[in-house]
Amino acid sequence: MATRLWREVEDVEPRQGLTMTALLDLPDALRTLLAWMVRQGPVTLRDVCHHLDESHGACRQLLLALQDKGLVRVVGRGGEPCYQVWLVLDRGRSHPRRDALGVLPLDL
Amino acid sequence: MSLIASIHSFRGGTGKSNICASLASLLATDGQRVGVVDTDIQSPGIHILFGLDESRITYALNDYLHGSCDIAQTAHDVSGRLEPGMAGAVYLIPSSLKAGEIARILREGYDAARLGEGFRQLVHELRLDALIIDTHPGLNEETLLSIAISDALVIILRPDQQDYQGTGVTLEVARKLGVPQTMLVVNNLPTIFEAAEVRVQVERTYGCEVAAVLAHAEEMMALASRDVFARRYPNHPVTDSLCAIVAKLGVLTERG
C-alpha cells in the first residue's frame, strides 16, 4: 500500500459522511481513491485490490480505516460485502450551504 | 458498458439544455437507448424541448429523491415525439415543476447516495446505452456528484468573459474528481469569428479538447425551445457540429 495514501487516511479527521465539497478538499491520493469509488458505486474488496494493485489484507485494512474515519460504509446484506463512499449533502442539514467556489483552493 | 455523461455550464443561458436534447436525439436516431435526467431541480426546463406536457408527468425526479417512487417510474418515453418508429429510444426523467416540490427539496435536501444509485438503476432497468445528465449551472453539491459519477463531462461555454473563469473552475473540479474524459463545447459563436481559431485558442487556454464550436444560428433563436434543434434541422451546420460531439461520446461508449 502506498505510504502516502496510508498517511493521508491516518491524518484525516473522523467524520460522519462526506459532502462533495469536503471530498474535493481531501489530499490527493485519498481524494483520488474516493472519487473512483463514487464513480464506481458500491465496490467489493476484490475491486479495490484490483484497482490499487494491492494485496487482499492491505486493502481490507484500508477499508476498515476508511470506515473508522466515517468516509466509507458497508452496504448490502448477504453475499459479498460492498463498500460505498458515505455521501451526504450539506443543503438543508446542520451545515449551512456553501458555495463550492468558496472552499476550493483554486489558483486560476 | 454504458456511458454516463454530464452536460454542464458554469453560467446559465449557454444553451446547455438545447445541446443535451439534441445529443440525446442524435444518439437515439443512431439506434441507441438514451436517458436524459433533468437535475436542474431549481429551474427545470428540458421537458419543454421534448414536448412533455406538465400534466403528463406522474412522477418526477423529486418524487424518487423523496422515496415516493422507483426511479424507473419517473422515466417518460419521449421517443415518439422526436421521431415515430426511431431506431433507438429517449427516456426523459424530468424534475418537478411544482413550486412546493422545488421548495421542499431546497429546504430539506435529500440522500445524496440515492441520486447516484438512481442513475445506475436507470442505466440497468432501461437498458440504456447512454445517460445524459442536464446539470444545474454553477457548482453545487448535486452538480459535483453528477460530475463525479460521470464517465464524460461536456462543458458548454459561450465566447464571453463571464464564462471563461467559471469554466476553468469546473475543469479543475473535473480533474480533481478524476473524470475519465472532459471536453469543451463553445456555443453561439458570433459569425464574425473564425471557428478554427477560437478552437485553438480555447484548447490552448484550458489544456482541454474542444469537441465542437457551434456558430450562432438564427434558426436556434427562432426555434425558442419549441423543438429539438437536431431533429428540426438535421442538415444544418450546427447539427453537423453536434454530431461531432456524439462521435466523441461514441468512442466513450465503446470504451467499456
Contact assessment for residue B5 and residue B249, using Cβ atoms and an 8 Å cutoff: yes
B148–A38 C-beta distance less than 8 A: yes
A92–B106 C-beta distance less than 8 A: yes
Give phi and psi for B33, each to the nearest 5: -95, 120
Query: Which chain A residue lies closest to B176 (C-alpha atoms)?
Result: A24
* pTM higher than 0.95: no
Chain A CB within 8 Å of residue B207 CB? no
Nearest to A49 by CA among A35, A66, A62: A62
The per-residue pLDDT for range B122-146, each reduced to its tens digit, is 999 999 999 999 999 988 888 999 9
Chain B CB within 8 Å of residue A24 CB? yes
Q: List, in sequence order, every beta strand (DSSP E) within chain A.
A: 72-75, 82-85
- pLDDT at A90 (0 to 100): 65
Considering only the beta carbons, identify the residue of A87, A97, A101 that sits closest to B113: A87
Burial class of residue B169, CB neighbours in 10 A (0-12, 13-18, 19+): middle
Chains A, B: CB contacts within 8 A come to 83
CA R_g for chain A: 14
The DSSP line for B65-129 is HTTSS-GGGG-EE-HHHH-TT-SSEEEEEPPP--HHHHHHHHHH---HHHHHHHHHHHHHHTT-S
The per-residue pLDDT for range B32-71, each reduced to its tens digit, is 999 999 998 888 889 999 999 989 999 999 999 999 999 9
State ipTM. Answer: 0.86
- What's the distance, CA B25 to chain centroid? 11
